[in-house]
């Protein structure tokens, strides 16, 4: 059967009027533009929806919610062609009663389409969730409009594929209903999966962070740590994370290269050494914060990490040079920025002490350091 491709709505209407008998006899099929179904005369639309499979398939996929279009969908849902019924079962505008009827279709592909349709009513989804066919149950598990009761049942399904589908939906959905239900799911594995969902609201994630199941709490904390360490997180989010007071989250914040200035002072006062080490290496610290760390942090590991930074302000380097710690001075002597400062200010490259006398012109080290290199002093 030849398939006719009209170039315009007017062309389509003219062809139907001139070839009505041949269309009824099955001589021609017509492939239409989806938008034409709303504009075709009712008699012409009825003709092609009875005799033209190409037009039926397009209509089943594209028609909307007007009374006329709803009637079309109800008609197409009873077509002999499985593909057309499947298309009608997938259309979110298909009437509820029609979807209920299609949920009992002999062909699995049609029932799968009903199971995935967000407009399928809950009682129909509940029936499909109890089907023997695990593929149909899996399709229901992929429907974000499913109720919490159905999610709970499918999360305990005997088929691994069905359980995996619930977890997959939990980690990816952006549908408000699913994001409300899935964090409350009775299965810890589902609550664990939803923690990784980038669309999960903050409040839900904080509740999961206090979950009784260890795997859920750990998943929520992992997500918080990722947020805290990400330079893309905004300042309000980072402040909220800091307010949680969790040590691992604070450690992640201290590493964030985009750490907001207001969060730096409280972190600098934290007694945890790992936080201090991360801050000492963090480029987010301004000159004032660096000087405060050089002045006040008494932990040798933190000062040594700070001394390794290239590009430190001269004032901070000078402050560190006054510290008598041999390990700190050894690190400073290898810092290219400090070497340049010492050369410019005629300081000993080894210990930072001022050069004197002939040492200013004939040496880069003070007499004491030269003597030490020969085993003297």
pLDDT digits (tens, 9 = 90+) for 229-250: 999 999 999 999 999 999 999 9
Q: Which of 43-52, 79-88, 99-108 has the lowest mean pLDDT?
A: 43-52
Q: Quick one: pLDDT at residue 373?
A: 64
Last residue of a domain, one of 195, 210, 234: 195
CB atoms within 10 A of CB 314: 13
Q: Is residue 41 part of a domain?
A: no
- Contact between 156 and 163 under an 8 Å Cβ cutoff? The reply is yes
H or E stretch covering 59: helix 53-62
- Confidence band for 365, pLDDT divided at 50, 70 and 90: confident
Q: Is residue 328 part of a domain?
A: yes
Q: Looking at residues 100-129, what average pLDDT do you find?
A: 96
Strands (E), the chain: 3-4, 29-30
* Average pLDDT of the residues of the chain: 92
Q: Quick one: pLDDT at residue 150?
A: 96
- Contact between 365 and 357 under an 8 Å Cβ cutoff? The reply is no
Q: Is residue 221 part of a domain?
A: no
In percent, the amount of the chain with pLDDT more than 90 equals 78
Residue 15 pLDDT exceeds 60: yes
Q: Is residue 112 part of a domain?
A: no
- The tokens of 300 are what? 């040798």
Cross-strand partners of 30: 4
Residue 376 pLDDT exceeds 60: no
Do 374 and 320 have their domain in common?
no
Task: Give the domain extent around 184.
Answer: 140-195
Do 310 and 359 have their domain in common?
no
Question: In which residue are the tokens 């009374």 written?
Answer: 67
Q: Looking at residues 160-170, what average pLDDT do you find?
A: 97
- Contact between 319 and 291 under an 8 Å Cβ cutoff? The reply is yes
C-alpha–C-alpha distance, residues 72 and 59, integer Å:
8
Counted residue by residue, the chain has a size of: 377
* DSSP string for 322-337: T---HHHHHHHHT-HH
C-alpha–C-alpha distance, residues 197 and 183, integer Å:
10
Q: Is residue 79 part of a domain?
A: no
Q: Looking at residues 71-99, what average pLDDT do you find?
A: 94
Q: Is residue 17 part of a domain?
A: no
- The tokens of 299 are what? 């932990």
List, for residues 179-217, the tens digit of each pLDDT value: 999 999 999 999 999 999 999 999 999 999 999 999 999
Last residue of a domain, one of 195, 210, 238: 195
For the chain, the domain total comes to: 3
List, for residues 17-62, the tens digit of each pLDDT value: 999 999 999 899 999 898 888 889 999 999 999 999 999 999 999 8
> Terminus-to-terminus CA distance in the chain, angstroms?
106
Note the pTM of the prediction, 2 decimals.
0.81
List, for residues 247-300, the tens digit of each pLDDT value: 999 999 999 999 999 999 999 999 999 999 999 999 999 999 999 999 998 899
Q: Is residue 350 part of a domain?
A: yes
Residue 269, helix vs strand vs coil: coil
Last residue of a domain, one of 161, 177, 195: 195
- Phi, psi angles (nearest 5°) of residue 3: -100, 120
Q: CA angle at residue 298 from 310 to 309, to 5 degrees?
A: 5
- Phi, psi angles (nearest 5°) of residue 191: -65, -35
Q: Is residue 244 part of a domain?
A: no
Counts of helices then strands in the chain (DSSP H, E): 27, 2
């Amino acid at each position: 059967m030849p398939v006719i491709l009209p170039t315009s709505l007017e062309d389509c209407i003219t062809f139907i009027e001139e070839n009505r008998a041949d269309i009824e006899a099955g001589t021609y099929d017509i492939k239409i533009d989806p938008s034409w179904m709303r504009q075709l005369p009712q008699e012409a639309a009825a003709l092609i929806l009875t005799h033209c499979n190409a037009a039926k398939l397009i209509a089943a996929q594209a028609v909307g919610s007007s009374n006329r279009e709803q009637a079309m969908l109800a008609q197409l849902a009873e077509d002999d062609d499985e593909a057309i019924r499947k298309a009608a079962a997938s259309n979110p505008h298909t009437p509820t009663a029609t979807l209920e009827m299609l949920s009992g279709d002999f062909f699995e592909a049609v029932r799968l389409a009903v199971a995935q349709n967000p407009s399928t009513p809950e009682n129909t989804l509940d029936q499909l969730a109890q089907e023997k066919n695990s593929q149909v149950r899996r399709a229901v598990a992929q429907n974000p409009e499913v109720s919490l009761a159905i999610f709970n049942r499918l999360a305990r399904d005997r088929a691994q594929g069905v359980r995996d589908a619930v977890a997959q939906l939990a980690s990816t959905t952006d549908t408000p209903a699913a994001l409300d239900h899935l964090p409350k799911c009775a299965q810890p594995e589902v609550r664990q999966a939803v923690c990784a969902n980038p669309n999960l609201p903050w409040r839900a994630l904080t509740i999961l962070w206090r979950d009784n199941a260890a795997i859920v709490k750990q998943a929520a904390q992992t997500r918080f740590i990722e947020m805290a360490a990400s330079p893309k997180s905004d300042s309000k989010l980072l402040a909220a994370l800091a307010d949680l007071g969790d040590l691992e989250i604070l450690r992640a914040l201290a590493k964030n290269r985009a750490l907001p200035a207001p969060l730096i002072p409280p972190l600098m006062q934290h007694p945890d050494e790992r936080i201090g080490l991360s801050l000492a290496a963090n480029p987010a610290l301004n000159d004032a914060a660096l000087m405060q760390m050089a002045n006040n942090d008494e932990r040798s590991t933190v000062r040594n990490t700070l001394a390794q930074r290239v590009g430190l302000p001269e004032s901070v380097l000078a402050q560190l040079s006054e510290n008598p710690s041999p390990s700190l001075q050894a690190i400073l002597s290898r810092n290219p920025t400090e070497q340049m400062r010492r050369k410019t200010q005629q300081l000993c490259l080894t210990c930072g002490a001022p050069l004197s006398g002939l040492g200013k012109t004939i040496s880069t080290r003070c007499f004491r350091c030269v003597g030490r290199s020969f085993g003297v002093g």
